[in-house]
Structure 1
């Protein structure tokens, strides 16, 4: 670059060439602060290389004890428990989606212009999804007792907040032209929602629900460990008694189930939404 060209650029964009000292020091200061927080976390949590090496050694020993995976005589029990886990995930997600869809209309800006109505609904979604599924499981176990019913309620409540937010955002991104067309033809507000908004967002909503079913299969396993039924309960019991071959078999069953659900949901999303959305 010629010197005169560089000088012209400097005069045209002085804020780039002549940045203040505070702006130049901001990035290195942030990096130093992040490094200091990282080191403080290692020291405060007593994370040391010796402990990590000892842990890896113990992990390798447990991995050897897991081979080969062997269910023993408990295969029928494990298959039933896996079925419970899948049922918890599907039922919980379905209940959450059915309840979240109508409520999400109240949180969508293009459906409810008034912030007086939208604000509390949105904050309710934030509050509900701010509590982890595991915490909801502990709550419902104390309410309805141990078993799959508590797991279904935990996933349904947790996903109600998450799906409600996602559904409302999908509604807000819908094209207004179809809604205006319904209105121009004499349709009511309900007709605008039914024939103008929902046909646009239902494929997106279906894809989100399918993804949550896949994700909740793993969540149902975790909440089963605290007593919400399913294969997680069996996994916790076998870990407690150090039956590592059965533990590895249960983990293998979970991995196969999650992979199968992922494959099925991908095919369904491809059929519902189209190839571009699942690429």
Structure 2
């Protein structure tokens, strides 16, 4: 019996890999992708990067403007994440099986999370661009909506993992719903909640760069402006500034996680 099961699983695995290979070849054929041409062009692309993306004295004169736009992007990402976290915490409490008031609110919270999470931030930026135009509000809202979906799902899972014994103990003593949430659920889930918020701040700073290209704001717009004017030295400085900022924020986030977890 075991041999038959193992043989069946081997056949299933073989068919799966054959399907993956077939889909890969079909995709390459439809998109006219040639792996050999890509590999041969790779050294040339690396050479172009080292020849053109150089930080010069002239590009360094633009550093104050670049840092100003980068700071604007970072603060917008933090604002979008923190305000979305407040909404997501409410939706997470409503959607969690541990703290759900009724089935309707739970389904509604999970539905909102699913819709906003499964639509990419760039798509939200394009949708909101039609209504709000190219400004910082559009970028903020795009990050906000995408963050609500992700954090709501993460908070629901964090709250579901909370110990049910403390909830049952407070319920047995006649504690109110608000008291149970504040004293039993939130304290247990708080380290994970903070960790997810820090993760989304890092993610949103990266996403805000791309969103800024669409909305004409922040460091994304600065990058796009220099790129379209073929000022590659300034593009290199913008890219380097973004990389440094992301690394510094990630190091800070990791330090905070070590402290709270």
1:66 equivalent to 2:56? Answer no
Distance 1:227 1:233 in 2: 8
| Offset, 1:228 | 4.5
* Greater alpha carbon shift after TM alignment, 169-178 vs 69-78: 69-78
Q: Any stretches of 5+ residues in structure 2 without a counterpart? A: none
Distance 2:140 2:83 in 1: 9
Contact 1:101 1:164 (8 Å CA) reproduced: yes
Contact 2:94 2:101 (8 Å CA) reproduced: no
* Structure with the greater alpha carbon radius of gyration: 1
Distance 2:6 2:238 in 1: 60
Distance 1:85 1:19 in 2: 55
* Greater alpha carbon shift after TM alignment, 32-41 vs 17-26: 17-26
Out of 133, 137, 152, the position equivalent to 1:145 is 133
5 Å-filtered alignment, 1:156-235, equals: 156-235=144-223
- 1:27 corresponds to: 13
- 1:4 corresponds to: none
Query: TM (normalized to structure 1)?
Result: 0.86
Contact 1:149 1:228 (8 Å CA) reproduced: no
* Greater alpha carbon shift after TM alignment, 38-47 vs 54-63: 54-63
Distance 1:230 1:19 in 2: 57
Task: Compare the two structures and name the one with the higher helix fraction.
Answer: 2
Contact 1:174 1:197 (8 Å CA) reproduced: yes
- 2:124 corresponds to: 136
Out of 17, 25, 29, the position equivalent to 2:3 is 17
Contact 2:95 2:106 (8 Å CA) reproduced: yes
> Where does structure 1 differ by over 4 angstroms across 4 or more consecutive aligned residues?
19-24
Closer, same or farther: CA 69–225 of 1 in aligned 2, 3 Å:
farther
| Offset, 1:23 | 4.8
Distance 2:260 2:111 in 1: 31
Describe the SS at the equivalent of 1:106.
helix
* Greater alpha carbon shift after TM alignment, 47-56 vs 236-245: 47-56
5 Å-filtered alignment, 1:43-122, equals: 43-48=29-34, 49-54=36-41, 56-69=43-56, 71-112=59-100, 114-122=102-110
Write the deviation string for residues 232-257 of structure 1: whole angstroms up to 9, x where unpaired. Answer: 11101111111111111111000110
- Matched residue pairs, number? 259
Write the deviation string for residues 126-158 of structure 1: whole angstroms up to 9, x where unpaired. Answer: 011111111112223332232222211111111
